[in-house]
Chain A
Amino acid sequence: MATYSLNINETLYEVDVAQGTSLLWVLREHLGLTGTKYSCGIAQCGSCTIHLDGNPVRACVLQVDNVANGQKIKTIEGLSENGDHPLQKAWVEAQAPQCGYCQSGQIMQAAALLEKNPNPSREEIKSHMNGVLCRCGTYLRILEAIEMAKEQTNTTS
């Protein structure tokens, strides 16, 4: 066991876990940040997508040891104050989720795109989102939501 301090959603958390523990289990089972989901554990589905220093990464393949050096971790719980990030609003507007399980990962993946490229093309969006699986098949509404949020961000900024 070892103690790690993690900078998550601009809050410092201390956690005692075994070395090498997956960041996903730390977030979900030790800290209760359960918006980040487990689905494959091998970085194939994107359900556990979070931001590490602004980049979208899969929490399931990160070890806690490697993210406890002041890196900024952002989870769906920290994406916006009241669930009102332009993407979250667009997601509701498009009625994108079905079961909803993959949607935190989808939104975090999309948020990282818009931060770097506020005006992505449809093909750029598809390529960027390709790593996040949705079994309910909501891809077209996710696309619609991202395009909606992109337009909204661009007209208000």
Chain B
Amino acid sequence: MKNISKKAIAPIGRRQFLKSSGGAALFIGVSGLLPNLISCTDAKGMEGQFAKHDVTAWVRITEDGQITIYNPAAEMGQGSMTSLPVIFAEEMDADWSKVDVEFSPQESDIYGSPGWQPGTKLMFTVGSRTTNSYYTVMRNAGAQARYVLLHSAAKHWEVPLEELTTGASEIMHENSGKKISYGALVPYLTMPETLPDFNDGGLKDPKDFKLIGSLIPRTEIPQKVDGSAQFAIDLRLPDMVYGVLERGALHGAKPTLNNESDILAMDGVLKVVPFNYAIGIVASTLEAALAAKKVLDITWSDAQASGFNSQEIYDVYAQMASAPEKGNTVNEVGDVDQAFRTAAKTYEADFKNDYVYHAQMEPLNAVVQVAADGQSAEVWVGSQQGPDTKLGIPDLLGIPHEAVNVHLQYLGGGFGRRSMNDFVLECGRLAQQMAPKPLKLLWTREDDVRYGAYRPLTLQRLKVSADAQGNLSGFSHCVVGDGGNLVASGARNDHYTIPNQWVEWREASHGVRLKHWRSVGHGPNKFAIEAMLDEVAHDQGTDPVALRSKLMADSPRALATLNKVAEISNWDTPSPEGRAKGVAFVEHGSLGTGVCEISVNRNTGKISVHHFWIALDAGVVVQPDNVKAQMEGGIVMGLSSVLKEQITIVDGQVQQRNYDSYALLRMQEVPDSIETIILPSAEHPEGVGETATPMVAGAIANAFLKLTGKRLRHLPFTPDRVLEVLIG
């Protein structure tokens, strides 16, 4: 990460961000700096503070008692706009009815949570890390804000701080019967010389939580039902121009434009901008830009993906899995070869998954405005942010980090796609050419599908050994595919006690763009693992829950989710005629076991999922209803991908273009119910956004095996494939 000079941090952006009203903002020092407190009306004073110190403002309080808490994470429907401020407000003892929430500035050294490496900070809304990584940050900051208020009241009343208590934005002094609201205290706020780090002690006991764990409506939902919630695509600025790119269906192919003068002569077209992999058009209106895009005459070069046929590659992958040389080790426990040599019985199966596409409802877009002198830029974008919170724009324009101001907007879906900021850079390049006019870049749905960055296609060879008593002695998992951790994540079994385990990745490369897709490798890998376990259980005549129960003996938290879901799904009661239940376990930070009940139309091959039950252990749950919403959404997205979704590639050309050829699950296909039970826990919160999705494939395949005695081993389970399996 770049080392950014403390002095260089943009005062303008942060002054603007606090400009809206009076009151006081608590600037809490980081890295041992003294805390500061400053009036929001004292612009000079604020600027001075910003220039001098690396400070963070998490909260603003005004005299009328209104409290603004700053959310450092992207909001893409997962609820960060509520969950993080709730954590802060809990420790601050704020009256939630008086809390407003706004996005914080995009400065990770100030507003980041602990990154992947010790001592680093990140503003990166990925990997279900938001609540998990900000929990201690927000608790400590909230407790420090409360401490400042206590300190000020103690001074104002000339009483010892220890005699004061707080509740719902009020400070009480029991001995004298005095009471003051946080708002009324604003004129008397003073800063203590030092602030305790409350992570060392002094935070609330979770059993005293009033906000965390209660039903709090999400703060941004009212805007999302009256059409006023602003996504980047909704931005309109004076003099704004529009940009589109034609990228082609072969990833990485280079364009030659054959009719540039015709294009430039079209109404409204302002500029043609060639990219290595695309032709860009800038026009005065969106419709003019799109009209020009339609009539571009482009000759495309070959690329790495030329000649690649996705549905034929599985044979190659199977040969790769059979090669004697081992791949990259992902996990090794005991000696799996020894386990297989001494096994009483072994099992082997290949599992496959096709490419899938993110299909977030808001197509990629951004608005960038570069100053006339090219020395600063404003960016409006829905991004999952990244290691560079300025999203690559400073390097693109050759200007300092602090000269770029990012205005984070709501994301119309992320799912991993918006953690890749290719579209922001495209917008920046076009905007640079049009400076100082602001430019809105829009990807059409066709652009978004065809030039997508998919979850990789893989083949997974699983081998299992059992000893003479039927106990699993060895578990070998070979993943073949492109993308490293994109295909390897979730292939470990940390909650199943199997004495000898081996996970490896064998690398392929096709030049097809790839990216994290909700739950990443967990989707395909948990499918393979969970389906394989049931194939063994089926052969052994063992109940799938009983088999897992034995494997989870050393992981009581995982086992509790299994037992609970068996209970709520009436696992031991047979399903009605024509239906069957299947189970699958997933760990993705939080631990969850899911059970589904399905039926199959044997004439059409269509699988219907009627019910889904989940038992989840996510540690402390900040917003229980929102966690349930994440489970529901995760299951529906899982169903969609498992039953329907498929990107196919023929001679390097992506075959799907829009929702007519890339089908998503619709209302008529949802289960009758998705029921989630959250197990109580006082452990540190774990992410929940990606735990449900990977349950779906295994649970359905296992229910299908129980119902039909046949094995589904290739995602998606389209009607054609299901029929083939039923007949075969």
A: residues with CB less than 8 A from B are 17-18, 21-22, 25, 28-29, 32-42, 44-45, 47, 75-77, 79-80, 83, 88, 91-92, 95-104, 107, 126-127, 129-143
Sample (27) of A-B pairs whose CB atoms are under 8 Å apart: A17-B285, A18-B267, A18-B268, A29-B242, A33-B227, A34-B227, A34-B230, A37-B233, A37-B362, A38-B233, A39-B445, A40-B658, A75-B227, A77-B226, A92-B217, A98-B633, A100-B77, A101-B361, A101-B413, A126-B668, A126-B670, A131-B666, A135-B415, A137-B635, A137-B665, A138-B629, A139-B636
Partner of A97, one of B221, B362, B625, B670: B221
Q: Is the CB of A140 within 8 A of B220?
A: no
Question: How far is it, in angstroms, between the C-alpha of A22 and the C-alpha of B294 when the chains are bound?
Answer: 15
Known interface pairs A34-B233, A38-B442, A77-B227; 15 further A-B residue pairs with C-beta atoms within 8 A, sorted by A's residue number: A25-B285, A25-B287, A41-B658, A92-B225, A95-B218, A97-B224, A99-B412, A100-B221, A107-B225, A126-B670, A133-B361, A137-B632, A137-B637, A138-B636, A139-B666
A132 touches B667 (CB 8 A): yes
Q: Which 8 A-B pairs have the closest CB atoms?
A: A35-B227, A137-B636, A98-B77, A101-B412, A100-B224, A83-B226, A99-B77, A76-B227
Are A98 and B78 in contact, CB atoms less than 8 angstroms apart? yes
With A99-B362, A139-B667 already in contact, the answer to whether A22 and B633 are too (CB < 8 A) is no
A105 CB to closest chain B CB (Å) equals 9
Residue among B233, B411, B637 with the most chain A CB within 10 A? B233
Q: State which residues 350-377 of B face A: CB under 8 Å.
A: 359-363
Q: Is the CB of B361 within 8 A of A99?
A: yes
B226 touching A95 by the CB < 8 A rule? Answer: no
Q: Which residues of A contact B640 (CB under 8 A)?
A: 137
Is B288 a contact partner of A18 (Cβ separation < 8 A)? yes
Known contacts A39-B363, A76-B227, A99-B413; A44 and B660 CB within 8 A of each other:
yes
Contact flag A101-B674 (CB < 8 Å), given A32-B236, A137-B633: no
Say whether B231 faces chain A, with CB atoms less than 8 Å apart.
Answer: yes
Tally of chain B residues near chain A (CB < 8 A): 65
In whole Å, how far is A33's beta carbon from the nearest beta carbon of chain B? 8
The smallest beta-carbon distance between A23 and chain B, in angstroms, is 11
Complex: A18 Cα to B287 Cα, angstroms:
8
CB of B97 to closest CB in A, whole Å? 16
Name the contact of B670 in the complex, choosing from A40, A131, A140 (C-beta under 8 A): A140
CB contacts (< 8 Å) of A77 on chain B: these are 226-227
What are the residues of chain A within 8 A of B674 when measuring CB–CB? 140
Q: Smallest distance from the beta carbon of B223 to chain A beta carbons, Å? A: 8
Complex: A131 Cα to B667 Cα, angstroms: 8
Question: Residues of B contacting A134 with CB < 8 Å?
Answer: 361
| Number of CB contacts from chain A to chain B under 8 A | 178
B49 in contact (CB, < 8 A): no
Please, which residue of chain B has its CB at the minimum distance from the CB of A64? Answer: B287
Interface residues of B in 660-687 (CB under 8 A from A): 660, 664-668, 670-671, 673-674
Q: Is the CB of B668 within 8 A of A40?
A: no
B287 near A22: Cβ-Cβ < 8 Å: yes
Complex Cα distance, B289 from A21, in Å, reads: 12
Instruction: Report B636-649 CB contacts with A as 1/0, cut-off 8 Å.
Output: 11001000000000
Kindly identify which residue among B227, B360, B667 contacts A129, using a CB–CB cutoff of 8 Å.
Answer: B667
Is there contact, CB below 8 Å, between A29 and B361?
no
User: Do B234 and A34 have beta carbons less than 8 Å apart?
Assistant: yes
Taking a contact as CB atoms under 8 Å apart, the answer to whether B444 and A41 are in contact is yes
CA distance A104 to B227 in the complex (A): 6
Q: How far is the CA of A83 from the CA of B288 in the complex (A)?
A: 34
Is B209 in the interface zone, CB < 8 Å from A? Answer: no
A75 to B226, CA, bound (A): 10
Contact B632 A40 (CB under 8 A): no
| In the complex, residue of chain A having the shortest beta-carbon distance to the beta carbon of B234 | A34
